Amino acid sequence: MPCPDLGALRASIDDAPGAAPALHDHVRACPTCSATLAELQHNAELAAPAIALTAPADPPPAAAEAALARFEQRRARLATTRTTPAQTVTARTTPAQSAPAGATATLSTATAPAPAPSPAASPSPSSPDPHPPVDGAPTGRVTDGGNGGARLSTAPRRRWGRRPRLGTRARGVAAALIAAVVLTGVVATPGGRAAAASFLAQFRSQRFEVLSLDPTQATQFEEVVAELVDTGVFTGNAFGGNVYGEPRVVADREQASRLAGFAVPVGDPSVLPRGVGRTPERIMVIGARETAITFDRDRALDYLRDNGRPDARLPERFDGTRLVVQLPAVVVQQFAGRDGGPALLVGKAGMLGLDTEGGASLEELREVVLGLPGLPEGTVAQLRAIGDWRNTLPLPVPTDEVSWRSTQVEGADAISFADPSGRLHALLWQRYGYIWGVAGVVGAGEARDVANSLT
- In angstroms, the CA 109 to CA 89 distance is 7
Mask for 389-418, x = binds other proteins (CB under 8 A): -------------xx-x-x--------xxx
Q: Are 342 and 328 in contact (CB under 8 A)?
A: no
Residues 47-106 within binding reach of other proteins (CB under 8 A)? 47-48, 50-56, 59, 63-65, 67-68, 70-71, 74-75, 78-79, 82, 87, 92, 94-97, 99-101
274 binds other proteins (CB under 8 A): yes
**Shortest distance, position 262 Cβ to other proteins, whole Å:** 17
Closer to other proteins by CB, 124 or 237: give it.
Answer: 124
**Shortest distance, position 219 Cβ to other proteins, whole Å:** 13
DSSP 117-162: PPS--SS-TTSPPSS-----SSSS---SSTT-GGGSS---HHHHS-
DSSP 422-439: S--EEEEEEETTEEEEEE
Task: Give me the helices (H) in 152-214, please.
Answer: 157-160, 168-184
Closer to other proteins by CB, 247 or 320: give it.
Answer: 247
Q: Which one of 117-125, 177-185, 309-317, 354-362 is the stretch in contact with other proteins (CB under 8 A)?
A: 117-125
- In angstroms, the CA 442 to CA 448 distance is 10
Q: How many CA atoms lie within 13 A of 191 on its CB side?
A: 0
**Shortest distance, position 97 Cβ to other proteins, whole Å:** 7
**Shortest distance, position 451 Cβ to other proteins, whole Å:** 9
Closer to other proteins by CB, 293 or 442: give it.
Answer: 442
Closer to other proteins by CB, 156 or 185: give it.
Answer: 156
CA torsion, ordered 38, 42, 43, 44, to nearest 10 deg = 100
Figure out which of the listed residues 39, 254, 268, 410 binds other proteins, where binding follows CB under 8 A.
Answer: 39
204 binds other proteins (CB under 8 A): no
Closer to other proteins by CB, 159 or 322: give it.
Answer: 159
Q: Which one of 23-31, 45-53, 150-158, 219-227 is the stretch in contact with other proteins (CB under 8 A)?
A: 45-53
- Number of residues located near other proteins, criterion CB under 8 A: 112
**Could you tell me the CA-to-CA distances from 101 to 125, 134, 225, 317 in Å, in that order?**
26, 18, 32, 50
- In angstroms, the CA 152 to CA 150 distance is 6
Closer to other proteins by CB, 200 or 418: give it.
Answer: 418
Q: Are 426 and 447 in contact (CB under 8 A)?
A: yes
**Shortest distance, position 245 Cβ to other proteins, whole Å:** 9
Figure out which of the listed residues 130, 191, 308, 411 binds other proteins, where binding follows CB under 8 A.
Answer: 130
Q: What strands, in cross-sheet order, belong to the sheet with 425-431?
A: 248-250, 282-286, 330-336, 342-349, 434-440, 425-431, 412-418, 403-409
298 binds other proteins (CB under 8 A): no
